[in-house]
Structure 1
């Protein structure tokens, strides 16, 4: 399985994240990638390939133009306003406020386009996000050309990004980009399987009213886990998308056995749906020692999960998402890929 990866990700390295009432080094940081690359090398995977220039066509088709303009220009506006630090949202449009009129002031724009304040923007964030998308696009092209599977080592991740909001460390929804590319190239139906601990709210939001992309997410119950306000089991799609969205919210302390049952149900639904291609939002923060999650999966469980996913027999693109137990993120990520390869 070929890996696609860009060194441009290093341009995004915020120095602060608001967590637990204090500023800490972000959990989502460049060193996560180093552990994954090291493990890929140790396990004999091919040397990662750098992607080509990102293709903006699909991105522009999926996302709000104002949001994309914001991401591209916000740093310059922030600096021009005399702001000294990184871009962090300090306000949000709340209930009964106007949500259809983006503010003109950059401080207001940041809150308007943000869904959470833990995610900072720096001078290089936009370039890093585009390079992450380019890796996902390169992986999709490889699979569309005949590869059984490919791994996009995306950083920053993407599954929390909606068509018009960033947050949860995500700016561009790479999994959604890949799914749309499969559709544009002729796949009648595509499935996105999100095994990250956190609900893939952005992916759900993008495809919720569509029946051509099936979305399934295994995650911490929204009553207890970020992003809190989406991911309930009764969210099943709307309009043409009714029945094409399935959520598996699970309680704190969930071990592998019930998690695997949810995975099997999701895979059965994807099979019944008739998907012609599969996109996996590959987060490994369901790991027992992850600092911002509460499931209890162990490293061998990720190997088994990869084997189960492979049984679908679909052309598959893996897009890297979360996983913040730094010492184990490489082992757990590569375990999924090895399980898939060996099935």
Structure 2
């Protein structure tokens, strides 16, 4: 399996995030990739495919915001990383607002995703890793892995959140569609629901989105990922959510994944994108499932056994000391 990563993905390194009412050290650190790289071995440097595939998914105004937010924040006399504090949740309108505070809320879903002067460069590099892995599979490899960091599945077409700025899974899926793959499926097995991915493909019938995650009644992102969310318009029935309770271990997770794989098989995709998060591990500091390191190989073998060309995108996982072993277990199963 080919593995892709760019050192530029380390460049995003905020100091703090808002968590449970206090500013705490940022959890999605560059140390995550160092732990993974130590466990999986050498990776390939992705090429630069440009912005076209990113713009096929993300709003042009949002991309411009990501590129300029840190500079505008500093120009306004602010210290530290740019963090939003006001959100247009009622009658949101696309009105021109020059003040950076207004733009931060317009293009963000939470206050846990700071933007630094290096965030665009790191997120852009993460997208390039996703595109390189996708291209490898389109060229004939059975599977490839993109060590995406920052992660992507909480980012919508025009908003960041949940540590995510560019939605790498969506970028990969759309790139495959643009390359001629008629149907693409996304299987999201991160602890948290991939609200951004769901939003992007909500009304589309050519991309099937299935997610197994912590029940949003108890866990972030709260407002997405409930059982009754199944898509709309041409995408009606092309979204499948399987929320699970705290304490979920392998047997229950396998049952939910089996349901998702059965639904994906009925969709008959030409390519599968897996949003893989190791924050389902029993010792993850911000999550509450009970998967163990060997369990990831079991889950991965069941996915691989379906036989679809597969691109794996790295999402969450915050127990840095065990993260590498968990990722290696999953990739070994693939």
TM-score, normalised relative to structure 2: 0.98
Q: Deviations over 1:153-211 (max 9, x none)?
A: 01100000000000100000000011011111111100000000000000000001000
1:18 positional shift: 1.2
1:144 matched to 2:113? The reply is: no
1:99 positional shift: 3.3
**Aligned residue in 2 for 1:116:** 110
Structure 2: 5+ residue runs without aligned partners? none
Between the aligned partners of 1:224 and 1:102, the Cα distance in structure 2 is: 36
1:235 matched to 2:229? The reply is: yes
1:32 positional shift: 0.6
Between the aligned partners of 1:218 and 1:88, the Cα distance in structure 2 is: 29
1:90 matched to 2:101? The reply is: no
**Which of the residues 281, 284, 293 maps onto 2:278?**
284
Structure 2 matches for 1:291-302, cutoff 5 A?
Answer: 291-302=285-296
1:21 positional shift: 2.1
Per the alignment, in what secondary structure is the counterpart of residue 3 of structure 1?
strand
Per the alignment, in what secondary structure is the counterpart of residue 258 of structure 2?
helix
Between the aligned partners of 2:58 and 2:149, the Cα distance in structure 1 is: 19
1:20 positional shift: 2.1
> How many pairs does the alignment contain?
334
**Which of the residues 44, 47, 70 maps onto 1:52?**
47
Q: Which has the larger displacement, 184-193 or 51-60?
A: 51-60
Q: Deviations over 1:118-163 (max 9, x none)?
A: 1111110000000000000000111111111100001100000000
**Aligned residue in 1 for 2:204:** 210
**Which of the residues 214, 217, 221 maps onto 2:215?**
221
TM-score, normalised relative to structure 1: 0.96
**Aligned residue in 2 for 1:10:** 10
1:126 matched to 2:123? The reply is: no
Q: Does the CA-based 8 Å contact 1:236-1:243 persist in structure 2? A: yes
Q: Does the CA-based 8 Å contact 1:3-1:151 persist in structure 2? A: yes
1:25 matched to 2:6? The reply is: no
Runs of 4+ in 1 over 4 A off after TM superposition: none
**Aligned residue in 2 for 1:44:** none
**Aligned residue in 2 for 1:317:** 311
Q: Does the CA-based 8 Å contact 2:9-2:126 persist in structure 1? A: yes
Q: Does the CA-based 8 Å contact 1:54-1:133 persist in structure 2? A: no
Per the alignment, in what secondary structure is the counterpart of residue 285 of structure 1?
helix
**Aligned residue in 1 for 2:61:** 66
Between the aligned partners of 1:61 and 1:51, the Cα distance in structure 2 is: 19
**Aligned residue in 2 for 1:333:** 327
Per the alignment, in what secondary structure is the counterpart of residue 278 of structure 2?
coil
Q: Deviations over 1:46-90 (max 9, x none)?
A: x20111124211211221111111111111111111111110111
**Aligned residue in 1 for 2:249:** 255
Between the aligned partners of 1:224 and 1:58, the Cα distance in structure 2 is: 35
Q: Deviations over 1:300-337 (max 9, x none)?
A: 11110110100110111001000011111111111111
Between the aligned partners of 1:214 and 1:326, the Cα distance in structure 2 is: 31
Between the aligned partners of 1:100 and 1:153, the Cα distance in structure 2 is: 34
Between the aligned partners of 1:203 and 1:195, the Cα distance in structure 2 is: 12
